[in-house]
Each structure stands twice: as C-alpha cells, then as structure tokens.
Amino acid sequence: MSALVAVKNLTRIFDVSKPWLNRLLEGKPKAFLHAVSDVSFEIEERSVYALVGESGSGKSTIGKMVVRLLAPSDGVIEIEGVDLFREPDHDRVEKIRTDIQMVFQDPYASLNPRWRVRDIIAEPVTARGGKADGLAERLLEQVGLAASDASKYPHEFSGGQRQRICVARALASEPKLIVCDEPTSALDVSVQAQVLNLMSDLKEEFGLTYLFISHDLTVVEHMADRIGVLYLGRLVEEAPRDALFESPKHPYTQMLFAAAPKLDGFGREVAPPKGEIPDPINPPTGCAYHPRCPFAIDRCTQERPEMRQLGQNRVACHVAE
C-alpha cells in the first residue's frame, strides 16, 4: 500500500482584518486567523482517514484545500505524487482533479434546487464536456434509489435520500478519493446508519479512499482506519483507530473522549472539562491547549511541542507518555 494523499506542513492563514478605513480610525493592526498551521499527514490508498476536532479546529479548511477549493498559504498537498498547487503541467492537475470528489455536510444546500437529479449527478462529467447517457440512472441504483428518480427535483427527496444523491454525484467522475465533510451530521440517527453503511459498501466496491471530516467520535470510530485530532488548527495527535481509542496520549484527546456522551453512561457524573476553545486570532502561546490542560507545566506555556512518535501514536505534547 502506498500513500494516495500526502499533506506536508499545510498552513492556511485568513486575513480577518476590518476594512482599512476602520483600521485607520481605530488604530488597529491587521488581524490574521491561522485556520490551519503546519499540518502533515498521509492517507493510504483504500483507507479511511478521519480528521476530528471541535469548531475552529480547521478540519473543514483542510478538506477544502485537498479538493482544491481553497489554496494553502504554505505547505504541499500531493495526490498520487502530483503537487496539487505547484505542478506546472495543467493537464496533469486537471486529470488529478477528476480523481477527487467531495460530499458536503448540508444535503439541502448541496443540490441545486432548480436542477433535475439526472443533471445534478452527471455534472462532474458534463461540466468537463463529457457525455453522460444513462450514468445518473445507473448511479442512482448503485446508491439505493430508483432509476426513475432521475427526472425528479431535489425537493421531492428526504435528507437521507439527498445525501445519497450527493454520493452518487461524487461517484460520477470515478474518483479515487472522496472528501466527506460531516456527511451525516445533518441527518437523524436511523438515516445516518443507512448513509454510513452505503459509504462503507461503496468503498469496498470501487476501492475508494475517504478523507472523513467529523466532530462525532462515534461515527469516526466506526468509519476510520486512521485518525488525526485537530485543536485550533494544529494536529495534536494522530494514530491508527484502535491505538487512539484504546490509549489516547494527548490530554486534549483524552478530554474529548471523556466528554462525549456515552450510551451506557446512565447518571454519569464526570467532572466537566474546564474552559472553552480560545479565540483563534489570538491563540495562547506555547501549546494552544495549555490553559485548559490539567497536566500543563511551565514549558507548555512557552514552547510549542513538536510531533513525536509515542508507540503507535504521533503526539504533539511535552508531557504525554
């Protein structure tokens, strides 16, 4: 097995300054938001890599950069050995782009309400000038809908069915990698199970690779082979699924696991985690987690921890062992 995706030192900075006149009048400097800082990971072919994190962790930003909807400020994204943003051969980049697809979070906003399902599903092919006769019908059956649904409009479908249509569209260009940005967080539990099962089946059938972005640990535990935990734009821990869930090393990962509600946690009284996610425009010095970390030492407040190997896990923490 080889790495299909290699992300190296990926960084994305957003300029969140107020308009220049306001800055001038209020005497404030430009403000920058480090949505993603120095993130590196690799995704094996035919595996599921999950990025977990809370709001502001930068997980969706990474997803958008991998599908080339956003350009990185720094760092490299290589897919099948081709640098997505620096490769000079335009045709090669376009070829790689057809190998990458995305399934979005909101099944209501991700289908154009004025288009028929047939045209929606065929778009990855037709937008590049290809012919797509019968493609939509075939894919609809593949995702568990009827071929006759092709001539309907999106509003005639429920949330779960719409997400199936989104998956069908993602399959149209015969991709290798599908980036799934919270694909089931807008769905009800019983429907979520259907969509997750569908995605697992399709992965086996087409030999797909998923980059799975989610805040839901239970879903991630079910789907992922390897997991990266993000906090405030940085990867704090990365490990194979079982290693991570059995022995999380980073205090943040431990906190996340402890805080997640458990189905068998009847009347569980846990000491709730302290603090909230800090303002990403002015993150804490040193390790960004130190103000909330129960194990923080002086070193954590000044020096940012580098990623280091700890058993099967890679951890960015001074004290973890």
Partner 1 sequence: MTALAQAWRSDFMWSFRHSPVAVVSFFMVLVLVSGAVFAPLVAPHNPFDPASLNLMNGFSQPMQPNAFTGDVFWLGTDDQGRDVFSTILYGMRISLFVGFCAVLFAMVLGVTLGLIAGYSGGMVSTVIMRIADVQLTFPAILVAMLIFGIAKGFTPVHLRDQMAIWVLILAIGLSDWVQFARVVRGATMVEKRKEYVQAAHLNGRKAVGIMIRHILPNVVGPVLVIATISLALAIIAEATLSFLGVGAPPTQPSLGTLIRIGQGFLFSGEWWILFFPAVTLLALALSVNLLGDWLRDVLNPRLR
Partner 2 sequence: MAKSVLSVRDLVVEIPTRHAVLRPVDKVSFDIAAGEILGVVGESGAGKSMTGNAVIGLLDRPAHIASGEIWLNGQRVDNLRRDQIRSVRGKEIGMVFQDPLTSLNPLLPIGEQLTETILEHLPVSKQEAEDRAVAALEEVGIPAAAARINSYPHEFSGGMRQRVVIALALCAEPSLVIADEPTTALDVSVQAQIIALLKQLCRERGTAVMLVTHDMGVIAEAVDRVAVMYAGRLAELGPVREVLTRPAHPYTRGLMASTPLASKGHTRLNQIPGAMPPLARLPKGCAFHPRCPEVQDKCLSDPGPTLSGCGGRAACWFATEEVA
CA 159, CA 152: separation in Å to the nearest integer?
Answer: 15
CA 103, CA 166: separation in Å to the nearest integer?
Answer: 6
The burial class, CB within 10 Å (0-12 / 13-18 / 19+), for 48 is buried
- According to the binding rule CB under 8 A, does residue 208 interact with partner 2? no
Q: What is the DSSP string of 155-198?
A: GGS-HHHHHHHHHHHHHTT--SEEEEESTTTTS-HHHHHHHHHH
Count how many residues are written for the chain.
321
Instruction: Identify residues 58-97 at the interface with partner 2 (CB under 8 A).
Output: none
- According to the binding rule CB under 8 A, does residue 109 interact with partner 1? yes
Take residue 190 and report the two structure tokens written for it. 């019983």
**95, interface contact from partner 1, partner 2, none, CB < 5-8 Å by kind:** none
Work out which of 39, 50, 84, 111 binds partner 1, going by CB under 8 A.
111
CA-based nearest residue to 195, from 203, 47, 7: 203
- According to the binding rule CB under 8 A, does residue 228 interact with partner 2? no
* Eight-state DSSP code of residue 21: H
Closest approach of Cβ 53 to partner 2, in Å? 9
SS3 state at 247: coil
Work out which of 100, 178, 217, 235 binds partner 1, going by CB under 8 A.
100
- According to the binding rule CB under 8 A, does residue 226 interact with partner 1? no
- According to the binding rule CB under 8 A, does residue 101 interact with partner 1? yes
- According to the binding rule CB under 8 A, does residue 161 interact with partner 1? no
Q: What is the DSSP string of 121-167?
A: HHHHHHTTT---TTHHHHHHHHTTS-GGGGGS-GGGS-HHHHHHHHH
Instruction: Identify residues 50-79 at the interface with partner 1 (CB under 8 A).
Output: 67-69
Q: What is the DSSP string of 248-293?
A: --SHHHHHHHHHS--TT-TT--PPPPPS-PPPTTSPPSSSTTGGG-
Closer by beta carbon to partner 2, 130 or else 207: 207
Site string for partner 2, 254-293 (x = CB under 8 A): -xx-xxxxxxxxxxxxx-xx--xx----------------
- According to the binding rule CB under 8 A, does residue 169 interact with partner 1? yes
Instruction: Identify residues 134-173 at the interface with partner 2 (CB under 8 A).
Output: 158-161
The residues binding partner 1 (CB under 8 A) are: 67-69, 94, 97-98, 100-102, 104-106, 109-115, 120, 123-124, 127-128, 166, 169, 173
The residues binding partner 2 (CB under 8 A) are: 54-55, 158-161, 188-194, 196-197, 200, 215, 217-219, 221-222, 255-256, 258-270, 272-273, 276-277
